[in-house]
């Protein structure tokens, strides 16, 4: 029996193992997200502790795999501190595995409310939001009011972003400009 078959068999037959499986994944991925958010915001552990009203030792423990039993209220508080939402949902094992496989701490970057164009501009086409993100990648995003003034025009070879008005804060660096 292959290792994977054994795992599937254990998941099917043992509730304890199912608990272990989920617990082990969550207790690595949740601390990893927390660290990613903190680093993304260039915050030290004491700074995050102060911003979230917790002790630094607790932040440190929360970033250690398996060290902390997270409760929802703590996660909500952390999410609020970083100005992001929090999704807790029951999923098939396949979805949990996919999440784990695709998760990358270095690239994890949920947009804070100020930069969350899809939340602030409901019904904005997905590709427009993506273009917007590409445009502002690596720089301070323009204000949402400016973002909505971005016009999309089709061109051979793809979409083009045109800003109808100059950026109020000056030049917006581009990845490549033709």
User: Which residues sit at the interface with other proteins, rule CB under 8 A?
Assistant: 3-4, 7, 10, 17, 20-21, 23-25, 27-29, 31-32, 35, 39, 63-67, 97, 100-101, 103-106, 131, 134-135, 155, 158, 160-163, 165-167, 170-178
Q: How far is the CB of 48 from other proteins (least distance, A)?
A: 15
Nearer to other proteins, 31 or 52 (CB): 31
Per-residue tokens: 151:
């016009």
Nearer to other proteins, 27 or 41 (CB): 27
Nearer to other proteins, 105 or 120 (CB): 105
Nearer to other proteins, 122 or 164 (CB): 164
Q: How far is the CB of 88 from other proteins (least distance, A)?
A: 19
Nearer to other proteins, 18 or 83 (CB): 18
Concatenated DSSP letters for 83-98? T---------HHHHHH
First to last CA, the chain: 57
Task: Quote the DSSP letter at residue 26.
Answer: H
Contact between 22 and 96 under an 8 Å Cβ cutoff? The reply is: yes
User: How far from 58 is each of 29, 50, 72, 92, CA to CA, in Å?
Assistant: 17, 11, 15, 31
Q: Which one, of 122, 141, 134, 117, lies nearest residue 175 by Cα? A: 134
Other Cβ atoms less than 10 A from the Cβ of 177: the count is 5
Q: How far is the CB of 33 from other proteins (least distance, A)?
A: 10
Q: How far is the CB of 138 from other proteins (least distance, A)?
A: 11
């Amino acid at each position: 029996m292959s290792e994977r078959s054994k795992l599937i068999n254990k998941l099917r037959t043992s509730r304890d193992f199912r608990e272990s499986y989920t617990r082990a994944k969550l207790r690595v991925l949740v601390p990893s997200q927390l660290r990613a958010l903190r680093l993304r915001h260039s915050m030290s552990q004491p700074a995050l502790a102060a911003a979230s009203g917790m002790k630094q030792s607790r932040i440190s423990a929360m970033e250690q795999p398996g060290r902390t039993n997270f409760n929802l209220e703590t996660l909500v508080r952390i999410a609020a501190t970083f100005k992001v939402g929090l999704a807790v949902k029951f999923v098939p094992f396949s979805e949990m595995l996919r999440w784990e496989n695709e998760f990358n701490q270095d690239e994890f970057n949920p947009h804070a409310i100020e930069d969350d164009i899809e939340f602030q501009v409901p019904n904005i086409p997905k590709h427009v939001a993506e273009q917007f993100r590409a445009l502002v990648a690596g720089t301070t995003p323009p204000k949402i009011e400016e973002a909505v003034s971005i016009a999309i025009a089709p061109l051979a070879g793809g979409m083009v972003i045109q800003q109808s008005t100059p950026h109020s804060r000056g030049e917006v660096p581009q990845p490549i400009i033709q």
